[in-house]
Every structure is written in C-alpha cells, then in structure tokens.
C-alpha cells in the first residue's frame, strides 16, 4: 500500500511510459536533470513524512505485539493468587495398649484346666486355670493335715478350759489352772490360724487369675506345661488402657507439625469401619532423629453422659488421623504445573522474559489443584503446559558424567 502511494505521489507512471517510447526517451534524456531534481525533492518529502509519522505508528504497533505475547502466555500459564484454607494435619495411627500385663506363675507346678485362648476377653480376677503337680499337691496335703491337727488342738483346749471353769466353781481347781487353760486355748487358736493361712496361700497360688480386665493377646505356656515361679503364662492387654499412637511427618510433606499441641482435637477413622472417632492430643513424644517425624499420643473424647469407649476403639485398630489446625494462607496451582526432581518439588515461573525454575513446598491436594505453602507469591505466572519438557530443556548441557 505504501509502495503504491509512493509511486502515485512522485508520478512514476508518466515516467515509466516516457522511458518505453522513442520520443519519450529523447525527451527524458533532454529533461533528465529536471526529472531527477523533482524525484529527489519528492522522495525527500516522503522520507520526512514517514519519519514524522513514526512516533504515531510505534505506539499503535506495540500493543499488537504485546497482546499476542500475553495471549501466548495465557494459553500455557496461570497467574497465582492466595486462598485461606483451614489447615488439616493428616497422619496414620494405631490403637495400642498403654501397657501389656503378664499372667505369671506364683510357684512351680504344672498347668491344669487351662481356660485361655487367643482373643478371649477376661474379667479382672477371673479364674483362667490351675497349677498342679506332685510337689504342689503334696504341699497342699501336708498343709491340710496341719490345719486339721491344729483344729483338733483348739477343740481340745476349749474342752479343757470349759472343765476348768466348772471345777473352779466347786473349788476343785485353782485360778492359776484356769489361766493356763486360757493361754493354751489362745495358743491352739493361733496355731490353727497360721495353719489355715498357709493352706489358703497354697490353694491361692494354685489358682491362675487374670490380673486385669482385658484381651488375651499371647499364650506362652499351654496346659500341661511345667512352670517355675515368675514364669509368664500369658499376656493380657487391658481394655481401658488403650491409646492411639500416631506419627506426623515434617512440613516438607505439607504437615505443619509445629502447630500440634496437647489438647488439639481431630478425628480418627479406623480402616474398614466407616466411622469417625473424636480424639484429642494427650502428649507429644520426642522427634525421630532420622526423619524428623513427630510421634503423638491421642485419646478418645468420651462424653460425660456415656462413660463408654466408642465403637472401633480396640487394640490393633489402624486408620487415618486428621487434626484441625488454624487457617493457613496458601497458593493453589494446577497439579500438572509441579515437577518432582531429586526429591524436591519445582515449578516454572515467568521472570525477566523467560521461564525460571522455582523450588516450592506443597501442601494438600484438592481435586486437580495442589496448595503451595511456600516458594511462590501471589501474582506470579506459573507454567502449566508441557511443564516437564520445558523443565528438562537442554538437559544435556547440565548433565555431568558420573565418576
């Protein structure tokens, strides 16, 4: 369009026609000086006109190029913005007994009439078996004979004292004899009490009783086994001595472990139960020096009116844990914008006219987006299209041959 206007302006058409005819050629030769002068003058005017219009054309052309670049960036990237989310700290936990109690043999003997089996729920002081054997039976027999003898001595002392009291009334005995009879009765009764206690102790040692109300989780000695004093026969986990032990990993995985504190509430979801149990943080254990994980002890929230453990709260139950923390300001981005490289998460950010790598710390995911806890600011442009290929562009230039 500019060329046509220029040709028309300098009247190139008559000049072209004049050159292609003989008469015109002669006329052109005679008036070449005049035409050249006119051509130079008019061409200079066009150049001055173009230079004058440059400040007007430049702003008109720049927005077009900037708009095309902005549209290209919008098609492969997004602008970040902050969102306030309620922080949920997630972890895994298992219900474990506070302590496992052992059922031990009180003396040597042989297990008889055992009533124990794995998974059995026993009451406190419930009889679960007996101890026998030739040695124990002989001791019980001797103790029983001794108790019978002392019982006969008591009866004899009682009869003798009764006689002394009657004869004293007829002055056939003295006061001293009566006192001696009373002392003999007291001694006989003391011997009987001692023999009774010894017999009861042997009989009680023969009986095997559960130390607490709980579940039998291990049986070390079966019926017919010979045991020695203190030997463990079975192990019982108390029903009312259970605790939930959980592990929470550091903020690198999106867990704000620094926010966990005693009294913090949340939910425990046992696997396969389809229910939620309200829980409360009881105490914090020292950090694991190997991976920085935080072990936490939790207990169920029991209503004052029920005083009962919730369903699903049993030894060995495993499930997920969610603790309610304070709100946190995060930057959600499409998950496809993230690149995992050498154990770290990265994104590509548009800075100074090209894509630059930026390390980020991720939080929880929500559908197709992932929260960024740190590493990004609101208003930055993050690439979401072919991020992996762009991230590893010119990888060969950065590759180093291993030794």
89/111 same-domain check? no
Domain range for 67 is 2-74
pTM over 0.85: no
Structural tokens at position 99: 């302590």
- Are 156 and 213 in a shared domain? yes
* pLDDT, average across residues 306-325: 81
Same domain, 47 and 126: no
185-201 average pLDDT score: 93
For 3-32, what is the mean pLDDT?
46
Bridge partners of 121, per DSSP, are: 215
CA distance 268 to 398: 47
How confident is residue 336, by pLDDT bands cut at 50, 70 and 90? Answer: very high
Token pair recorded at residue 333: 């981005």
Given this model, what pLDDT does residue 291 score? Answer: 83
User: Are residue 203 and residue 121 in the same domain, yes or no?
Assistant: yes
User: Is a pLDDT exceeding 50 seen at residue 250?
Assistant: yes
27 pLDDT higher than 80: no
Hey, what are 308's tokens? 């009962």
Asked if residue 361 and residue 299 are part of one domain, the reply reads: yes
285: its two tokens: 């254990």
Count of structural domains within the chain: 3
Same domain, 226 and 272: no
| For residue 39, pLDDT beyond 70 | no
- 90, 169: one domain: no
Q: How confident is the model at residue 328 (pLDDT cuts 50, 70, 90)?
A: confident
What value, to the nearest 5°, has the Cα angle with vertex 122 and ends 119 and 127?
A: 125
- Do 268 and 305 belong together in one domain? yes
Q: Are residues 19 and 163 located together in one domain of the fold?
A: no
21 shares its domain with 60: yes
Q: What is the pLDDT of residues 48-73, one digit of tens each?
A: 555 555 555 445 444 555 566 566 67
Residues 58 and 115 in one domain: no
Domain boundary among 167, 202, 237: 237
């Amino acid at each position: 369009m500019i060329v046509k206007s220029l040709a028309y302006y300098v009247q190139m058409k008559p000049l072209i026609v004049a050159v292609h005819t003989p008469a015109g050629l002669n006329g052109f030769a005679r008036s070449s000086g005049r035409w050249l002068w006119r051509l130079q003058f008019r061409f200079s005017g066009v150049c001055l006109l173009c230079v004058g219009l440059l400040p007007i054309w430049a702003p008109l052309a720049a927005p077009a190029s900037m708009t095309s670049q902005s549209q290209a960036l919008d098609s492969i990237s997004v602008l970040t913005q902050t969102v306030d989310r309620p922080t949920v700290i997630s972890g895994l936990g298992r219900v474990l007994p506070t302590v496992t109690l052992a059922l031990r043999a009180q003396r040597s003997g042989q297990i008889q009439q055992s009533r124990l089996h794995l998974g059995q729920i026993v009451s406190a002081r419930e009889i679960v078996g007996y101890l026998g054997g030739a040695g124990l039976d002989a001791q019980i027999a001797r103790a029983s004979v001794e108790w019978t003898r002392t019982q006969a001595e008591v009866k004899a002392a009682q009869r003798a004292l009764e006689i002394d009291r009657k004869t004293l009334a007829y002055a056939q005995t003295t006061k001293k004899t009566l006192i001696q009879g009373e002392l003999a009765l007291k001694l006989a009764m003391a011997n009987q009490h001692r023999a009774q206690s010894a017999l009861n102790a042997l009989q009680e040692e023969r009986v095997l009783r559960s130390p607490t109300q709980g579940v039998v989780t291990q049986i070390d000695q079966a019926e017919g086994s010979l045991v020695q004093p203190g030997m463990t026969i079975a192990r019982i986990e108390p029903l009312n001595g259970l605790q939930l032990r959980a592990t929470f990993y550091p903020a690198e995985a999106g867990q704000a472990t620094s926010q966990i504190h005693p009294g913090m509430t949340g939910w425990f979801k046992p696997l396969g139960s389809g229910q939620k149990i309200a829980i409360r943080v009881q105490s914090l254990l020292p950090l694991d020096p190997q991976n920085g994980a935080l072990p936490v002890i939790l207990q169920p929230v029991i209503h004052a009116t029920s005083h009962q453990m919730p369903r699903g709260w049993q030894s060995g139950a495993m499930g997920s844990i969610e603790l309610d923390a304070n709100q946190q300001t995060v930057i959600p981005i499409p998950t496809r914008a993230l690149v995992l490289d050498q154990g770290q998460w990265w994104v590509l950010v548009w800075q100074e006219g090209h894509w630059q790598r930026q390390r980020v710390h991720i939080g929880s995911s929500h559908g197709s987006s992932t929260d960024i806890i740190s590493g990004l600011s609101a208003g930055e442009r993050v690439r979401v299209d072919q991020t992996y290929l762009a991230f590893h562009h010119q990888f060969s230039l950065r590759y180093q041959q291993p030794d």
